[in-house]
Structures are given as structure tokens and as C-alpha cells.
Chains A and B, each alone.
Chain A
Amino acid sequence: MEINKRRWLMDIIMLPIGLLTFFPFYLIIVNTFKTQAETARNPISWPKTFYLDNYSYVFREVPLLHAMMNTTVITAISVGTMVIFGAMAAYPIVFNPGKTNKLIMTYLMAGFLIPFQTTLIPLFELMTDFRLIDRLYGLVLVYSGGSVFVFFLMMGYMKTIPKELPEAAIIDGCGTSGIFWKIIFPLLKPITVTAIIYQTMWIWNDFLAPMLFLNSSNNMTLILQVYRAKGEFSVNWPLFMTLTVIVLIPIFIFFILMQKQIVKGIVGGAVKG
């Protein structure tokens, strides 16, 4: 009884704080069902009628499905590349240790300290020289430098794999390459999930690199379309909120499905960081 009372107390204390935190999302949703005039008059209230024209307008005017395709392609290929390059690099560092590899490890880890902003101008020049501006694969190449973070996660995890495992496989006639792809890589599954979640959230949401390296409407990512639409819709907030809801839906689904994994990832990343 006493404990139950305390339980309710927490609920009551937290309710207003939770509502306040959630309030922007409430505003986004209710204003998608209003006309511009109704939003100007009553931005906070529940919509009078469920006006759906904003949705049809946004779907008609903004190439959202195309942008979603672009974002998915860029994210999937970049993350795939990073995971494979990162895992591959961890393999010799862990299983073929020595002076050279210690040096290489330090060289790769230095990447953590180099902010993207510091490399941005020469990167822009490089991309221009190689005609990689406004190319989806150009952006993928830029992101592939982020493999060092995945490498770091993979290295930590790989150290927990017993050394006898690949040795036994060598005796069984498995080559260095075979050991990695058939034995080591499948064992990395838990940390791979973490790495995929982390890198997906970064690339899916990234604004700076796409803004710099993509410019034609045909190649725009979702976030770039949001940026452009903000300019176009200007103060037509109902249209902008509608776009926001549509862009948030896949992220929300990802969040609901992956919440536990994301939390695990935060902890895993933090403990090693």
C-alpha cells in the first residue's frame, strides 16, 4: 500500500514534465490538420475538422518517396561499407599483433580527434577535382572515412574472441581469409548491430555533408528536402508540419522497434569510449 502510494506520486510529479517534453510533437501533429488561417488563430487547440489537404499537397509537391530512396541508398551503402571495412581492419590488429599494427591502430584511432569541420574545405576541393559533387556515391565515399569508429567498436569486441578459435581453423585447413568471413565475422553480430544503429542514425539525419556535396533536386536526401521545403513553405506552418510528420514516421518506427538496441548501443559505445 505504502509503496503503491509512492509509485503514484512519481507518476504525478513526472506527468507535467513529460507532457511539456512531448508538447512540440503534439503541436506538429495537430497542426497538420489545420488550414494556415486556423493555425494562425489557434496553433495549440485540437483541429476543428480533420482537414487532409496538407497531406495531399505535400505528397504532390515534395518528391518524398524519391528522397527517401536516396537517403536509404546512401545510408545502406555507407553503413555497409563502414561495417565491412571496420571489421576487416580489426582482424589483423587483433589476430596479427606486432609493432607495425600497433602503429596502424594509433594512426586509425587518431581519426576520432579529427572533426569533420576541419577536413571540410580540402574535402570540398577534392570532391570538385574528382567530379564527385552531386553524386550519391561521392557522398558514400566521404562517409566511408567514418569506418574508424566501427573499427574501434569491432576491435574491442574481437578481443573477447578466444585466440584458439582461428588457430583450430588453420589446422583444419581454413585460410586467413576464410577464417575471417566464415568464423570471425559471423561472431561479430551483436557489435555489428550496435555499429549499424549508430551509423544509420548519423547518416540518415546528417545535414552538413549532403548540403555541401549534393545539390540537384534529384539527388536530395530527406533532410535536404526538409531544408528546401522550409524555404518554400516559409510561414505556411501546416504544410511544414505535415512534411515533418511524414519525415518523422520512419524514424519513429525505427525508434519503437530498436529502442532497446539503441540503449544497448549507447552503453556499449560509452563503456568503450
Chain B
Amino acid sequence: MKKRMQSLQYQWFLLPILTVYSIFTVYPLLKSFVLSMTDFNGISKQYNFVGLANYGRLFRDQTIISGVSFTLSYAIATTLIITLLAIPLALILDNKFFTRNLHRAIFFFPSIPSGLLLAYVWGFILSPISSGVLNKILKSTFGLSTQPWLSDPMLAKISVIMVAVWAAVGWHAILYLAFLQGISKDYYEAAAIDGATRLKQIRHITLPLLAPAMTVSVMLLLTGGLKVFEIPFALTKGGPGFETYTITQVIVMRGVNEGQYGLASAMAIVFFLIVLALTYFQVTVMQKREERIQ
């Protein structure tokens, strides 16, 4: 009895988190499921059960198809490019050189402020008008004509992805760097005695030992990439047309702005499933990879 009382005294501590989490996360999730199968419009209190009709409509809505396709390409492209740049960057920043700390700070800093703010600044650099810095530089050094960085469908996608890479690559380099610093120097000394070149050491010691860091970094990049909103929103507002539209933007516009709650909720649920499936798949595959190479 006394033991039981004591146990209950502990359980009170769970009350605050269970309350806020259930009301502000779990309940809305379940409600999304329900709404996705209705024709609720946010205004009339009456609504009908429509089964999976909203899910079918997702595939016929050109804006939504655009949004999903750009979001997926963005998530995959940023993950690949950032990973390919962050690892060599981390290897370099792990060396001793005079401006090392300065460089670490320079690469790291862009990941600290809001993406919205920084993307607006990039809007200035990529602007087609006379103050557009990039066009100005390209014109004066290479004699190139004005490029529509943000209004050509392909260039707009590339620009959005490049700005995202600039903003996040340092953060991920710092993550890899932290793991690099945990690698014992003994491995390298032993390899050097065996006559392994620096390149071979990186290939056979460093990269395998970075596998756990890679699993985490890629997971953060993929999930963060799927949730992308601010950078394309600030750079292109989703344009030209709907070329750089994102899933988040679809949910906000179709749901909150247009009151198509059923359709937007169906999008939200599909999004949830995409995030779930990709995260599960990626983590499983990469953890297997960790086991294999270590």
C-alpha cells in the first residue's frame, strides 16, 4: 500500500506534459484523420462523411502534385548535396590552420538565424533588377546576360536548393566535425606505420567511423527537407507558377486560407505517412550500413 502511494506521488509529474501533448499534438493528429474523410469547410457546422474522396482529389489537383514533387526533390537534393559538401568541409576544418576557428564560425553562422530572413537577403542577390548582385557580377566578369534566377522554373528550383545548402552545410559540417574529433589518433598512427596514404586513411578509417554521424545527419536533412517552407516561400512564394510550391504551403493555402479542410487534411495525413515511411526506411537502411562497415 505504501509502495503504491509512493508510486502515485511520482505519476503526478506526468500530468502537465500529458495534458499539453494530448491536446496540442495528439488530438489534432486524430482530428486530421477524421477531417480528411469529410467535406468540412470550416464555416457550416454540418459536414458529410466522404470516405477517401479527398485522397483521390489530391492526385487531380495540379498545385498539390507540384507541391509534393518539389518538396520531394528539394528534400533529396539538399540531403545529397549537403552531405557531399559537409563531410569534406568537416575534414578540412579538423586540420590545424591559422584561420580555422574563424572559418568554423563563418560556415556555422548561416544556420543560426531564421531561414526566412536569409532567403530574403538572397532574393536581393538573385534579383533580376539592376541591384541584383549575382547578375551584376556575372555580367562584369564573364559578360553574361541577365539570368532569371527566380522566375525560370528550373533555375528557381536550383536557386532555392542552393540557398538552402548555403544555410545548412556548416551546421552539418560541425556535426561531422564533432564525430571526427572523437576518433582516436591511434588508428591513424597505426595506418601510417602500415604505409597507408592520407587518402586511404580517410577512405578506410574516417568514413566508416563517420557512419553513425551520417545516419543522424541524413535523417535530420530528410525530415527537415520534407518540412521545408520558409526558404522557397521567401525566395519565390512558390513560383514561378507552382514550380517551387511546398507541401506545407499547400496545407496552409488549401486549408487555412481556402477552407478546403477535407482536402488539406488528406494532404496532411499523406505528408505524415511520407515522413514516417522515409524516416523509417532511411534509418533502417543506414543502421544496417553502420553494422556492415564497422
Number of interface residues of A (CB under 8 A): 90
Q: Take A7-B96, A147-B20 as given contacts and tell me if A122 and B27 are in contact as well, using a CB distance cutoff of 8 Å.
A: yes
Known: A148-B21, A212-B256. A180 touches B117 (CB 8 A): no
Task: Determine the chain B residues whose CB is within 8 A of the CB of A101 once the complex forms.
Answer: 14
Binds A, one of B47-55, B183-191, B272-280: B272-280
Number of A-B contacts (CB under 8 A): 256
* Least CB distance, B233 to chain A, in whole angstroms: 8
Docked Cα-Cα span, A263 to B264, in Å, equals 38
* Contact residues of B: prevailing secondary structure: helix
B59 at the interface (CB under 8 A from A): no
Most buried by B among A113, A122, A201, A227: A122
B248 in the interface, Cβ–Cβ < 8 Å? yes
Q: Would you call A52 an interface residue if the criterion is a C-beta within 8 Å of the partner chain's C-beta atoms?
A: no
Tell which of A21, A226, A237, A252 touches B124, judged by Cβ atoms closer than 8 Å.
A237
Residues of A within 8 A of B70 (CB): none
Q: Are B29 and A119 in contact (CB under 8 A)?
A: yes
CB A106 to nearest CB in B, in angstroms, measures 13
Question: A255 contacts the other chain (Cβ, under 8 Å)?
Answer: yes
Q: Is B178 a contact partner of A267 (Cβ separation < 8 A)?
A: yes
Q: A14-B99, A241-B121 are in contact. Are A205 and B216 (CB under 8 A)?
A: no
Q: Does A43 contact B (CB under 8 A)?
A: yes
CB distance from B81 to the nearest CB of A (A): 15
Does A168 sit at the interface, judged by CB under 8 A? no
Q: Which of A54-62, A87-95, A186-194 contacts B (4 or more CB under 8 A)?
A: A87-95
B129 close to A (CB within 8 Å): yes
B20 and A7 contact, CB distance less than 8 A? no
Q: Which of B131-139, B149-157, B200-208 contacts A (4 or more CB under 8 A)?
A: B131-139
Partner of A147, one of B17, B113, B132, B265: B17
Chain B neighbourhood of A270, CB < 8 A:
175, 178, 213, 216-217
Q: Are B95 and A113 in contact (CB under 8 A)?
A: no
Interface residues on B, range: 35 or more
Interface string of B102-114 (1 = CB under 8 A from A): 1101111110111
Tell me whether B16 is interfacial, beta carbon within 8 Å: yes
CA distance A120 to B112 in the complex (A): 25
**A121 near B248 (CB under 8 angstroms)?**
no
- Do A89 and B14 contact each other (CB < 8 Å), given the known contacts A43-B131, A118-B32, A226-B120? yes
B242 within 8 A of A: no
Question: Is A183 part of the binding interface, using a Cβ–Cβ cutoff of 8 Å?
Answer: no
Q: Does B252 contact A (CB under 8 A)?
A: yes
Give A115 to B268 CA distance when docked, in angstroms. Answer: 9
Q: Are B14 and A104 in contact (CB under 8 A)?
A: yes
The residue that A223 contacts in the complex, of B97, B98, B117, with Cβ under 8 A, is B117
Interface contact B248-A208, CB-CB below 8 Å: yes
B109 touches A255 (CB 8 A): yes
Q: When chains A and B are docked, how far (Å) is the Cα of A142 from the Cα of B28?
A: 11
Considering the chains assembled together, what is the distance between the CA atoms of A126 and B256 in angstroms?
12
**With A and B bound together, what is the CA distance between A180 and B204 in angstroms?**
47
Given A10-B97, A115-B271, A118-B32 in contact, is the A237-B175 Cβ separation under 8 Å? no
Instruction: Give every chain A residue within 8 A of B251 (Cβ-Cβ).
Output: 117, 120-121
Q: Are A122 and B31 in contact, with the CB atoms below 8 A?
A: yes
Please tell me if A156 contacts chain B, counting CB pairs below 8 Å. no
User: Do A21 and B28 contact each other (CB < 8 Å), given the known contacts A237-B131, A266-B171, A270-B216?
Assistant: no
The residue in chain A whose Cβ has the minimal distance to the Cβ of B120 is: A230
| Complex interface: chain B residues within 8 A of A91 (CB) | 10, 13
Q: Which residues of B contact A (CB under 8 A)?
A: 6-7, 9-11, 13-14, 16-18, 20-21, 23-29, 31-32, 35, 42, 92, 95-100, 102-103, 105-110, 112-118, 120-122, 124-125, 127, 129-133, 136-137, 166, 170-171, 174-175, 178-179, 213, 216-217, 219-220, 223, 226-227, 229-230, 234, 247-248, 251-252, 255-256, 261, 264-265, 268-269, 271-272, 275-276, 279
Top 5 nearest A-B pairs by Cβ distance?
Answer: A119-B28, A122-B31, A10-B97, A145-B24, A122-B28
Which residues of A are interface residues toward B (Cβ below 8 A)?
Answer: 7-8, 10-11, 13-15, 18, 21-22, 24-25, 27-28, 31, 39-41, 43-44, 84-86, 88-89, 91-93, 95-96, 98, 101, 104, 107-108, 111, 113-126, 141-142, 144-145, 147-148, 151, 175-177, 180, 201, 204-208, 212, 223, 226-227, 230, 235, 237, 240-241, 244, 247-248, 251-252, 254-255, 259, 262-263, 266-267, 270, 273
- Since A117-B271, A267-B178, A267-B179 are in contact, a sample of 6 more A-B pairs with Cβ atoms closer than 8 Å, ordered by chain A residue number, is A96-B11, A108-B21, A113-B276, A125-B261, A204-B114, A226-B117
Task: Return 26 A-B CB contacts under 8 Å, by A number.
Answer: A10-B92, A10-B95, A14-B99, A21-B107, A21-B166, A22-B106, A31-B124, A40-B131, A88-B17, A89-B16, A93-B14, A108-B18, A113-B279, A114-B26, A120-B251, A120-B252, A121-B264, A124-B256, A142-B24, A205-B114, A230-B234, A252-B109, A255-B105, A266-B171, A267-B178, A270-B217
